[in-house]
Chain A
Amino acid sequence: MEDRIAISRIKQGDLNGLEILVNRYQVRAVHAAYLVVFDRALAEDIVQTAFVKVAEKVQQFDGQRPFAPWFFRIVVNDAIKAAKRLKQSISLDEELDGPTVKLAAQLVEPSLQPSQMMEEKETRQMILNAIKSLTPEQRAVVVMRYYLDMSEAELSMKMDRPLSTIKWWLREARKRLRNLIGSSQGFEDRQ
Chain B
Amino acid sequence: MENKDFKSILQNVLEEEIPASQVNLWAGVKERLVTGKSTSPQQGEKMNSIGSRRLQRVALAMLMFIALLVAVLITPQGRAFAQDILKFFNRAESNAMPIPPEQVASAEEAQSISTAVPPAPLITISDAYQVVGFNFLVPEVPDGFVLLGARANLTSISIEYEAQGGGGALILNESLDGFIQSEWDQAPVEAVSQVKIGNIEAEIVQGSFVVLPGETIARWNPDASILRLRWIFDGVWFEMAKFGNVESIEYLDRDALLGLAGSMMNGSFTLDIKEAEALAGFDVLEPTWLPPVLFFEGAAFEPTEWDSPKNAVKISYYFYSEKLGPGLASNGIVTTQQPIDSIEDCKIGTGCLVGAGAEVETVQIGAMTGEYVIGVWKADNAGHWIWEHEPYLQRVRWQSDDMAFEILYMGPPEEITKTDLIAIAESMR
Contact = CB atoms under 8 A, between A and B. Distances in A.
A120 B330 CA distance: 33
A77 B47 contact: no
A65 B308 CA distance: 27
Interface in B1-42: 1-3, 5-7, 9-14, 16-18, 20, 23-26, 28-30, 32-33, 38-40
B197 interface: no
Interface residues of A, number: 79
Interface of A: 3, 15, 18-19, 22-23, 26-27, 30-31, 34-35, 39-45, 47-49, 51-52, 55, 64-69, 77, 80-81, 84-85, 87, 89, 106-108, 110, 112-114, 120, 123-124, 127-128, 135-138, 145-147, 149-154, 157-162, 164-165, 167-168, 170-172, 174-175, 178
Contacts of A107: 1, 6
A161 B267 contact: yes
Contact of A55 (B3, B33, B305, B376): B33
Interface core residue of B16, B297, B327, B330 (most chain A CB under 10 Å): B330
B9 A34 contact: no
Contacts of A162: 140, 263, 267, 305, 307-308
A44 B23 contact: yes
A110 B33 contact: no
Task: Specify which of B38, B47, B376 lies most central, judged by the most chain A CB atoms within 10 Å of its CB.
Answer: B47
Given A107-B1, A160-B267, A65 B329 contact: yes
B43 interface: yes
A127 to B, nearest CB: 5
B379 interface: yes
Contacts of A123: 9, 13
A157 B316 contact: yes
B140 to A, nearest CB: 6
B129 A137 contact: yes
Contact of B13 (A18, A128, A135, A174): A128
Contact of A41 (B7, B44, B134, B267): B44
Contacts of B231: none
Given A48-B28, A48-B40, A147-B10, 17 more contacts: A26-B23, A40-B18, A41-B43, A65-B318, A66-B329, A69-B329, A69-B330, A106-B6, A113-B1, A114-B5, A124-B16, A135-B129, A136-B129, A160-B267, A162-B263, A168-B379, A178-B381
A139 B379 CA distance: 18
Nearest to B3: A146
Contacts of B40: 45, 48
Nearest to A38: B17
B7 A146 contact: yes
30 contacts: A18-B33, A22-B29, A30-B18, A31-B14, A34-B17, A41-B44, A41-B47, A42-B46, A51-B25, A52-B38, A55-B29, A65-B297, A65-B318, A66-B318, A66-B329, A106-B1, A107-B6, A110-B2, A113-B1, A123-B9, A127-B10, A128-B17, A138-B129, A153-B410, A157-B316, A157-B330, A167-B378, A171-B381, A172-B126, A175-B381
Interface in B306-356: 307-308, 316, 318, 320, 326-327, 329-331
Interface string B105-146: 000000000000000000000100110111100101000000
A158 B39 contact: no
A84 B393 contact: no
Which of A27, A39, A138 is the most central at the interface, judged by chain B CB atoms within 10 Å of its CB?
A27
Closest 5 CB pairs of A and B: A66-B326, A160-B267, A66-B329, A41-B44, A154-B330
A153 B135 contact: no
B50 interface: yes
A7 to B, nearest CB: 11
A123 B17 CA distance: 13
Contact of B26 (A19, A110, A114, A147): A19
Contact of B383 (A26, A41, A84, A171): A171
